[in-house]
Chains A and B, each alone.
Chain A
Amino acid sequence: MAKIVVDVMLKPEILDPQGVAVSAALPRLGFTFAKSVRQGKRFEIEVDGEPTPAQLAEVEKATEKLLANPVIETFTVRVEK
Protein backbone atom coordinates (compact mmCIF):
# COMPACT_ATOMS: atom_id res chain seq x y z
CA MET A 1 0.00 0.00 0.00
CA ALA A 2 1.38 3.39 -0.98
CA LYS A 3 0.58 6.85 0.18
CA ILE A 4 0.07 9.86 -2.04
CA VAL A 5 0.80 13.11 -0.22
CA VAL A 6 -0.68 16.42 -1.31
CA ASP A 7 0.77 19.55 0.29
CA VAL A 8 -1.28 22.72 -0.07
CA MET A 9 0.13 26.17 0.75
CA LEU A 10 -1.26 29.69 0.46
CA LYS A 11 0.41 31.56 -2.40
CA PRO A 12 3.33 33.69 -1.14
CA GLU A 13 1.46 36.93 -1.85
CA ILE A 14 -1.59 35.89 0.21
CA LEU A 15 -1.44 36.99 3.85
CA ASP A 16 -1.25 33.99 6.21
CA PRO A 17 -2.45 35.26 9.62
CA GLN A 18 -2.05 31.82 11.21
CA GLY A 19 1.59 31.63 10.15
CA VAL A 20 2.15 35.15 11.46
CA ALA A 21 0.62 34.19 14.82
CA VAL A 22 2.84 31.09 15.06
CA SER A 23 5.97 33.05 14.19
CA ALA A 24 5.06 35.61 16.88
CA ALA A 25 4.55 32.84 19.47
CA LEU A 26 7.92 31.11 18.87
CA PRO A 27 10.20 33.84 20.28
CA ARG A 28 7.94 34.14 23.35
CA LEU A 29 8.92 30.52 24.07
CA GLY A 30 12.59 31.23 23.54
CA PHE A 31 12.81 29.86 19.97
CA THR A 32 14.51 32.54 17.96
CA PHE A 33 15.38 30.65 14.77
CA ALA A 34 12.37 31.60 12.65
CA LYS A 35 12.53 34.47 10.20
CA SER A 36 8.96 33.69 9.15
CA VAL A 37 6.44 30.83 9.32
CA ARG A 38 3.75 29.87 6.83
CA GLN A 39 1.13 27.28 7.62
CA GLY A 40 -0.38 24.87 5.10
CA LYS A 41 -2.38 21.67 4.76
CA ARG A 42 -1.26 18.10 4.09
CA PHE A 43 -3.49 15.36 2.69
CA GLU A 44 -2.44 11.71 2.94
CA ILE A 45 -4.22 9.50 0.42
CA GLU A 46 -3.84 5.74 0.65
CA VAL A 47 -4.06 3.66 -2.50
CA ASP A 48 -3.65 -0.05 -3.23
CA GLY A 49 -0.30 -0.93 -4.73
CA GLU A 50 2.13 1.39 -6.42
CA PRO A 51 0.37 4.56 -7.73
CA THR A 52 0.25 4.67 -11.52
CA PRO A 53 0.92 7.86 -13.51
CA ALA A 54 -2.79 7.86 -14.41
CA GLN A 55 -3.72 7.74 -10.73
CA LEU A 56 -1.37 10.60 -9.94
CA ALA A 57 -2.89 12.61 -12.79
CA GLU A 58 -6.32 11.96 -11.26
CA VAL A 59 -5.06 13.19 -7.88
CA GLU A 60 -3.72 16.35 -9.55
CA LYS A 61 -7.12 16.93 -11.12
CA ALA A 62 -8.98 16.32 -7.85
CA THR A 63 -6.61 18.67 -6.03
CA GLU A 64 -7.21 21.44 -8.52
CA LYS A 65 -10.95 20.91 -8.27
CA LEU A 66 -11.44 20.29 -4.55
CA LEU A 67 -8.44 19.91 -2.23
CA ALA A 68 -6.87 23.27 -3.15
CA ASN A 69 -8.28 26.58 -4.30
CA PRO A 70 -5.96 27.64 -7.14
CA VAL A 71 -7.10 31.25 -6.69
CA ILE A 72 -5.17 31.52 -3.42
CA GLU A 73 -3.22 28.26 -3.02
CA THR A 74 -0.45 26.22 -4.65
CA PHE A 75 0.05 22.47 -4.21
CA THR A 76 2.43 19.59 -4.78
CA VAL A 77 1.60 15.91 -5.25
CA ARG A 78 4.15 13.20 -4.39
CA VAL A 79 4.31 9.52 -3.49
CA GLU A 80 5.57 8.55 -0.05
CA LYS A 81 7.04 5.05 0.33
Chain B
Amino acid sequence: MKVGVVTFPGTLDDRDAARAATHAGTTAVSLWHNDADLKGVDAVILPGGFSYGDYLRCGAISRFAPVMEKIIDAANGGMPLLGICNGFQVLCEAHLLPGALTRNHELHFLCRDQKLEITNNQTAWTTSYKVGQEIVIPLKNGEGSFQCDDATLAALEGEGRIIARYVGENPNGSRNKIAGITNERGNVVGLMPHPEHAIDPLTGPTADGLAFFTSVLNAMVK
Protein backbone atom coordinates (compact mmCIF):
# COMPACT_ATOMS: atom_id res chain seq x y z
CA MET B 1 0.00 0.00 0.00
CA LYS B 2 1.31 3.45 -0.99
CA VAL B 3 0.87 6.51 1.21
CA GLY B 4 1.64 9.89 -0.36
CA VAL B 5 3.26 12.58 1.77
CA VAL B 6 2.94 16.10 0.38
CA THR B 7 5.75 18.64 0.58
CA PHE B 8 4.77 22.30 0.24
CA PRO B 9 7.37 25.07 0.44
CA GLY B 10 7.78 25.47 4.20
CA THR B 11 6.61 21.98 5.17
CA LEU B 12 8.63 20.64 8.11
CA ASP B 13 7.33 17.24 9.08
CA ASP B 14 7.20 15.41 5.75
CA ARG B 15 10.21 13.24 6.63
CA ASP B 16 8.76 12.15 9.96
CA ALA B 17 5.39 11.49 8.31
CA ALA B 18 7.09 9.34 5.64
CA ARG B 19 9.07 7.55 8.36
CA ALA B 20 5.89 6.86 10.32
CA ALA B 21 4.14 5.51 7.21
CA THR B 22 7.12 3.25 6.51
CA HIS B 23 7.31 2.14 10.16
CA ALA B 24 3.64 1.13 9.96
CA GLY B 25 4.38 -1.15 7.01
CA THR B 26 3.21 1.04 4.13
CA THR B 27 5.32 2.51 1.32
CA ALA B 28 5.80 6.27 1.59
CA VAL B 29 5.72 8.23 -1.67
CA SER B 30 6.81 11.88 -1.85
CA LEU B 31 4.33 14.21 -3.53
CA TRP B 32 5.39 17.71 -4.60
CA HIS B 33 2.96 20.61 -4.21
CA ASN B 34 3.45 21.78 -7.77
CA ASP B 35 2.76 18.40 -9.41
CA ALA B 36 -0.85 17.61 -10.24
CA ASP B 37 -0.01 13.90 -9.96
CA LEU B 38 -0.76 11.56 -7.06
CA LYS B 39 1.58 8.82 -8.38
CA GLY B 40 -1.01 6.10 -7.79
CA VAL B 41 -1.05 6.42 -3.99
CA ASP B 42 -3.85 4.85 -1.93
CA ALA B 43 -3.87 7.48 0.83
CA VAL B 44 -2.35 10.91 1.45
CA ILE B 45 -0.85 12.70 4.47
CA LEU B 46 -0.60 16.50 4.59
CA PRO B 47 2.17 16.99 7.15
CA GLY B 48 2.88 19.82 9.55
CA GLY B 49 5.02 22.89 9.09
CA PHE B 50 4.58 26.43 7.86
CA SER B 51 3.54 26.02 4.23
CA TYR B 52 3.99 29.28 2.30
CA GLY B 53 5.26 30.82 5.55
CA ASP B 54 1.71 30.77 6.97
CA TYR B 55 1.20 33.94 4.90
CA LEU B 56 -2.36 35.31 4.70
CA ARG B 57 -3.78 32.52 6.93
CA CYS B 58 -2.28 29.14 7.78
CA GLY B 59 -3.02 26.81 4.86
CA ALA B 60 -4.82 29.46 2.79
CA ILE B 61 -2.31 29.46 -0.08
CA SER B 62 -1.32 25.76 0.03
CA ARG B 63 -4.98 24.88 -0.36
CA PHE B 64 -4.75 26.07 -4.00
CA ALA B 65 -1.52 24.19 -4.87
CA PRO B 66 -1.86 22.03 -8.02
CA VAL B 67 -1.49 18.78 -6.04
CA MET B 68 -4.41 19.81 -3.82
CA GLU B 69 -6.90 19.77 -6.69
CA LYS B 70 -6.18 16.08 -7.24
CA ILE B 71 -6.19 15.37 -3.52
CA ILE B 72 -9.56 17.08 -3.01
CA ASP B 73 -11.07 15.06 -5.89
CA ALA B 74 -9.63 11.80 -4.55
CA ALA B 75 -10.78 12.54 -0.98
CA ASN B 76 -14.29 13.31 -2.23
CA GLY B 77 -14.13 9.86 -3.86
CA GLY B 78 -13.26 8.21 -0.53
CA MET B 79 -9.44 8.18 -0.46
CA PRO B 80 -8.09 8.29 3.12
CA LEU B 81 -6.56 11.71 3.81
CA LEU B 82 -4.88 12.80 7.05
CA GLY B 83 -3.93 16.40 7.78
CA ILE B 84 -1.63 16.93 10.73
CA CYS B 85 -1.23 20.42 12.26
CA ASN B 86 -0.62 22.66 9.21
CA GLY B 87 -2.21 19.85 7.18
CA PHE B 88 -5.35 20.16 9.35
CA GLN B 89 -5.36 23.89 8.63
CA VAL B 90 -5.10 23.15 4.89
CA LEU B 91 -8.06 20.73 5.11
CA CYS B 92 -10.22 23.39 6.79
CA GLU B 93 -9.20 26.02 4.23
CA ALA B 94 -10.04 23.52 1.47
CA HIS B 95 -13.49 22.98 3.10
CA LEU B 96 -12.87 19.24 3.30
CA LEU B 97 -13.38 19.70 7.05
CA PRO B 98 -15.58 22.32 8.74
CA GLY B 99 -14.40 25.14 11.00
CA ALA B 100 -11.03 26.86 11.16
CA LEU B 101 -7.88 26.90 13.29
CA THR B 102 -7.14 30.26 14.91
CA ARG B 103 -4.46 31.76 17.17
CA ASN B 104 -3.98 29.93 20.48
CA HIS B 105 -6.05 31.71 23.13
CA GLU B 106 -2.96 32.52 25.24
CA LEU B 107 -1.07 33.68 22.10
CA HIS B 108 1.97 31.48 22.86
CA PHE B 109 3.42 28.94 20.47
CA LEU B 110 3.05 25.61 22.28
CA CYS B 111 5.50 22.74 22.14
CA ARG B 112 4.85 19.93 24.60
CA ASP B 113 3.82 16.32 25.01
CA GLN B 114 0.02 16.33 25.13
CA LYS B 115 -2.44 13.81 26.48
CA LEU B 116 -5.42 13.09 24.20
CA GLU B 117 -8.48 10.91 24.42
CA ILE B 118 -9.49 9.04 21.26
CA THR B 119 -13.24 9.51 20.85
CA ASN B 120 -13.96 7.85 17.47
CA ASN B 121 -12.28 4.69 16.16
CA GLN B 122 -14.45 4.30 13.06
CA THR B 123 -12.41 6.54 10.73
CA ALA B 124 -9.82 5.35 8.20
CA TRP B 125 -7.07 6.67 10.51
CA THR B 126 -8.24 5.57 13.98
CA THR B 127 -9.42 1.94 13.78
CA SER B 128 -6.35 0.67 15.64
CA TYR B 129 -7.36 2.65 18.74
CA LYS B 130 -10.03 1.97 21.35
CA VAL B 131 -12.64 4.62 22.13
CA GLY B 132 -11.66 6.21 25.42
CA GLN B 133 -7.99 5.30 24.97
CA GLU B 134 -5.60 7.97 26.25
CA ILE B 135 -2.45 8.66 24.25
CA VAL B 136 0.47 11.10 24.61
CA ILE B 137 1.91 12.69 21.46
CA PRO B 138 3.64 16.03 20.78
CA LEU B 139 1.61 19.20 20.27
CA LYS B 140 3.40 22.13 18.62
CA ASN B 141 1.54 25.02 17.08
CA GLY B 142 0.74 28.71 17.28
CA GLU B 143 -2.65 28.53 15.60
CA GLY B 144 -4.31 25.41 16.91
CA SER B 145 -7.52 26.73 18.42
CA PHE B 146 -10.39 24.96 16.65
CA GLN B 147 -13.31 27.34 16.05
CA CYS B 148 -16.66 26.87 14.34
CA ASP B 149 -20.23 28.14 14.72
CA ASP B 150 -22.66 26.56 17.19
CA ALA B 151 -24.56 24.62 14.51
CA THR B 152 -21.35 23.03 13.19
CA LEU B 153 -20.22 22.17 16.71
CA ALA B 154 -23.58 20.54 17.47
CA ALA B 155 -23.33 18.53 14.23
CA LEU B 156 -19.77 17.39 15.01
CA GLU B 157 -20.82 16.33 18.51
CA GLY B 158 -24.09 14.75 17.42
CA GLU B 159 -22.53 12.74 14.59
CA GLY B 160 -19.54 11.59 16.65
CA ARG B 161 -17.14 13.34 14.29
CA ILE B 162 -14.73 14.52 16.99
CA ILE B 163 -11.96 11.93 16.86
CA ALA B 164 -9.74 13.19 19.69
CA ARG B 165 -9.97 15.68 22.55
CA TYR B 166 -7.33 17.27 24.78
CA VAL B 167 -7.24 15.75 28.25
CA GLY B 168 -6.77 18.11 31.22
CA GLU B 169 -6.36 21.84 30.67
CA ASN B 170 -7.43 23.12 27.24
CA PRO B 171 -4.04 24.02 25.70
CA ASN B 172 -5.19 26.42 22.97
CA GLY B 173 -8.81 27.41 23.50
CA SER B 174 -10.29 24.91 21.01
CA ARG B 175 -14.06 24.62 21.29
CA ASN B 176 -15.05 21.56 23.36
CA LYS B 177 -11.31 20.68 23.65
CA ILE B 178 -11.30 19.44 20.06
CA ALA B 179 -7.90 18.09 18.93
CA GLY B 180 -9.12 16.34 15.77
CA ILE B 181 -12.22 15.84 13.63
CA THR B 182 -13.36 13.79 10.65
CA ASN B 183 -15.70 14.33 7.70
CA GLU B 184 -19.09 12.63 7.36
CA ARG B 185 -17.62 9.71 5.46
CA GLY B 186 -14.76 9.13 7.93
CA ASN B 187 -11.99 9.08 5.30
CA VAL B 188 -10.69 12.62 5.95
CA VAL B 189 -9.17 13.34 9.37
CA GLY B 190 -7.58 16.52 10.68
CA LEU B 191 -5.49 16.44 13.86
CA MET B 192 -3.58 19.27 15.56
CA PRO B 193 -1.07 17.19 17.58
CA HIS B 194 1.62 15.13 15.85
CA PRO B 195 1.31 11.32 15.84
CA GLU B 196 4.20 11.04 13.37
CA HIS B 197 6.61 12.29 16.07
CA ALA B 198 5.57 9.51 18.45
CA ILE B 199 6.05 6.21 16.63
CA ASP B 200 8.88 4.73 18.67
CA PRO B 201 10.22 5.47 22.15
CA LEU B 202 13.73 6.16 20.79
CA THR B 203 12.72 9.35 18.98
CA GLY B 204 9.41 10.31 20.58
CA PRO B 205 7.79 10.49 24.02
CA THR B 206 5.82 7.30 23.27
CA ALA B 207 4.87 5.06 20.36
CA ASP B 208 1.22 6.08 20.77
CA GLY B 209 1.02 7.82 17.40
CA LEU B 210 1.87 4.80 15.28
CA ALA B 211 -1.68 3.44 15.33
CA PHE B 212 -2.87 6.31 13.07
CA PHE B 213 -0.62 4.89 10.36
CA THR B 214 -1.41 1.23 10.98
CA SER B 215 -5.12 2.11 10.98
CA VAL B 216 -4.99 3.30 7.39
CA LEU B 217 -3.18 0.14 6.35
CA ASN B 218 -5.95 -1.94 7.97
CA ALA B 219 -8.61 0.26 6.34
CA MET B 220 -7.13 -0.37 2.90
CA VAL B 221 -6.52 -4.09 3.36
CA LYS B 222 -10.11 -4.67 4.51
The answer on A and B forming one complex is: yes
Q: Give residues in A with beta carbon < 8 Å to B.
A: 10, 13-15, 17-18, 21, 66-67, 69, 71-72
Question: By the criterion CB–CB under 8 Å, are B56 and A72 in contact?
Answer: no
Q: Size band of the B side of the interface?
A: 20 to 34
Verify B60–A71 contact, CB threshold 8 A: no
Shortest A12–chain B CB gap in Å is 12
Which residue of chain A has its CB nearest to the CB of B61? A66
Given known contacts A66-B56, A69-B93, is B147 in contact with A17 (CB within 8 Å)? no
User: A69 and B107: CB pair below 8 A?
Assistant: no
Chain A neighbourhood of B183, CB < 8 A: none
Which B residues have a C-beta under 8 Å from some C-beta of A?
A: 56-57, 60-61, 64, 92-93, 98-100, 102-107, 145, 147-149, 173
Q: Do the beta carbons of B57 and A69 come within 8 Å of each other? A: yes
A69 vs B63: C-alpha distance when bound (angstroms): 12
Please name the residue on chain A nearest to B104 by beta carbon: A17
Q: How far does the alpha carbon of A66 sit from the alpha carbon of B63 in the complex, in Å?
A: 10
- 5 more A-B contacts (CB under 8 A) besides A17-B105, A18-B107, A71-B148? A10-B102, A17-B102, A17-B103, A17-B106, A17-B107
**Contact partners of B147 in chain A: CB under 8 A:** 14-15, 72
User: How many Å lie between the Cα of A15 and that of B60 in the bound state?
Assistant: 19
Note all chain A residues with C-beta closer than 8 A to B102.
10, 14-15, 17, 72
Given the complex, which residues of A lie within 8 Å of B64, measured CB to CB?
66
Q: Which of A10, A15, A18, A71 is close to B173, meaning CB atoms less than 8 Å apart?
A: A15
Chain B nearest CB from A43 CB (Å) reads 10
Whole-angstrom distance between the alpha carbons of A71 and B106 in the complex? 22
Residues of A within 8 A of B92 (CB): 71
A29 to B14, CA, bound (A): 44
Give B145 Cβ to nearest chain A Cβ, in Å. 7
Q: Is the CB of B173 within 8 A of A13?
A: no
Query: With the chains together, A15 CA to B105 CA distance in Å?
Result: 8
